[in-house]
Amino acid sequence: MNALSSTTPDLSHLRADFPILSETIRGKPFVFLDSAASAQKPAVVIDAMTHTMRHQYANVHRGLHWMSERTSDAYEGVRDKVAALLNAASREEIVFTGSSTGAINLVAYSYGALLRPDQAVLISEMEHHANIVPWQMLRDRRGIELRVAPVDERGELDLGAMEALLADGRVGLVSITHMSNVLGTVTPAARIAELAHAAGALLLLDGSQAAVHRPVDVKAIGADFYVFTGHKLYGPTGIGVLWARHALLEAMPPFMGGGDMIGSVSFERSTWAEVPHKFEAGTPPIVEVIGLGAAIDYVQAIGMGTIQAHEAGLTEHALARLGAVEGLRVIGEARTRGGVISFTVDGAHAHDIATLLDRNGIAVRAGTHCAEPLMRRFGITSTARASFGIYTTTQEIDVLADTLDRIRSFLV
Ligand SMILES: *Cc1c(COP(=O)(O)O)cnc(C)c1O
């Protein structure tokens, strides 16, 4: 059985770029289907980071010496790579944070400070906790209202309901995932931008998943803020990105105070550095930024469009194969989706499924996937989730489906 269409690019040759994929688990080949939680790293990323620490490392921005200047160049060069990846208007619109979580908290704090207490923030039922909790904290701090747009039975955003929630013009910011880490749903970002702007609201997109699986053009979308996290884009942990329109970054107060984010400091008052440095207090994750740059070079060389087509083929194949497993229910059937598939198996707990798959060398995630409200929406407590990356093969999906078929008899 092979649902792959002839236009699906075969990227299996890339597997050799990822040293960890040749590991064996309990004597079995390592079948890694948990990229949505964190992706594996190609050797070019690992090498860029070790090369930096071995040969070209000093603190950035402060030193006038050779080593600091070279490191600063490498660090600042990544800002250009990120700007190109997202089609940002300028490199100054790119702020390095610690993660997507760090980036959303920055916006909640700094843009949140510009919202009036009688305004609201609109999120959706399918948000990751990272795009829920910072807004609850803002609500508790500033008294703003938190509104939640519903998700329909297919796992798509209910745009009609969203429009109704925007109708009174009190929503200052819409903060929505660009792709669900549970359902795989890709949200209609440009349409949401239109709806938000028509109601006088700005739009933040949580691109933690989308930026990994498809080309992103923040200008074409018409977004105001976009965030993603390095470790899901084949880069290291400890590095995330906030893109925001320049005028917004100018207007927003800083998030954290400290070194590197100031113009001048006296005990009476301090002035802020230019954007984006105003938002990068303290020594940044230098090695991690350089690692992210290598990861971006790597995916850009393959092409985000090619990656998207590869994963679309895998997803189609996986939906067909998993759909044929007795008692298995895929949660979410959005018409536009990426390579993340959550499922339940009748009579079996997701943790038991994951444990039995693990005995066979297959890594999937089980639980609430940092999206407890979404679990409640679908009347379940947890799911098992298989997620794909550029190195995932149809053979691995077949191993998953065959193994699920086999272990079902132990589970029910
Ligand atoms: C992973 C993820 C996050 C959080 O990313 P961190 O790297 O943990 O900050 C936020 N939103 C979505 C949709 C995610 O998948």
d(CA 40, CA 25): 16
Q: How far is the CA of 405 from the centre of ligand 1 (A)?
A: 31
Per-residue model confidence as pLDDT tens digits over 34-64: 999 999 999 999 999 999 999 999 999 877 8
Q: How many CA atoms lie within 13 A of 281 on its CB side?
A: 11
What Rg, from alpha-carbon coordinates, does the chain have? 22
Residue 17 DSSP symbol: G
What residue type is 226 in one-letter code? Y
Name the pLDDT band for 220 (thresholds 50, 70, 90): very high
d(CA 221, CA 189): 6
Nearest CA to ligand 1 atom 12: 208
**Average pLDDT of the residues in 119-129:** 98
Provide the pLDDT for residue 127.
98
- Contact predicate 281/257, CB 8 Å: yes
**Average pLDDT of the residues in 143-148:** 98
- Contact predicate 131/177, CB 8 Å: yes
- Of the listed ranges 38-42, 58-62, 102-106, 245-249, the least confidently predicted one is 58-62
Tokens of 392: 């995932």
Q: Tell which residue, 145, 193, 200, 204, has the closest CA to residue 172.
A: 200
Per-residue model confidence as pLDDT tens digits over 328-358: 999 999 999 999 999 999 989 999 999 999 9
Name the pLDDT band for 408 (thresholds 50, 70, 90): confident
Domain 46-301 part of CATH 3.90.1150.10: no
Provide the pLDDT for residue 3.
47
Residues making up the chain, counted from first to last: 412
Of 35, 96, 100, the residue with max ligand 1 atoms within 8 A of its CB, to mutate for a pocket test, comes to 100
d(CA 272, CA 168): 36
* Mean pLDDT of the residues in the chain: 95
Q: What class has domain 12-42+304-411? A: alpha beta
- Contact predicate 137/163, CB 8 Å: no
Name the pLDDT band for 412 (thresholds 50, 70, 90): low
Q: Where are the domains of the chain?
A: 12-42+304-411, 46-301
Q: How far is the CA of 370 from the centre of ligand 1 (A)?
A: 9
Q: How far is the CA of 281 from the centre of ligand 1 (A)?
A: 22
Distance of CA 76 to the CA centre of its chain: 22
Indicate if the alpha-carbon torsion angle 146, 148, 134, 260 is positive or negative: negative
Name the pLDDT band for 410 (thresholds 50, 70, 90): confident
Please check whether the two domains, 12-42+304-411 and 46-301, share a CATH topology.
no
Q: For ligand 1, is residue 181 a contact (CB within 6 Å)?
A: yes
- Contact predicate 122/149, CB 8 Å: yes
Choosing from 113, 133, 248, 370, which is the catalytic residue? 370
Q: How far is the CA of 295 from the centre of ligand 1 (A)?
A: 17
Residue 282 confidence (pLDDT) above 90? yes
Nearest CA to ligand 1 atom 14: 208
Tell me: cis bond preceding 276? Omega within 30 of 0 counts.
yes
28 is a catalytic site residue: no
Non-local CB neighbours of 44 within 8 Å, separated by 6+ positions: 17, 294, 295, 297, 298
Q: For ligand 1, is residue 310 a contact (CB within 6 Å)?
A: no
Instruction: Write down the pTM of the prediction.
Output: 0.97
Number of neighbours of residue 13 by Cβ within 10 angstroms: 8
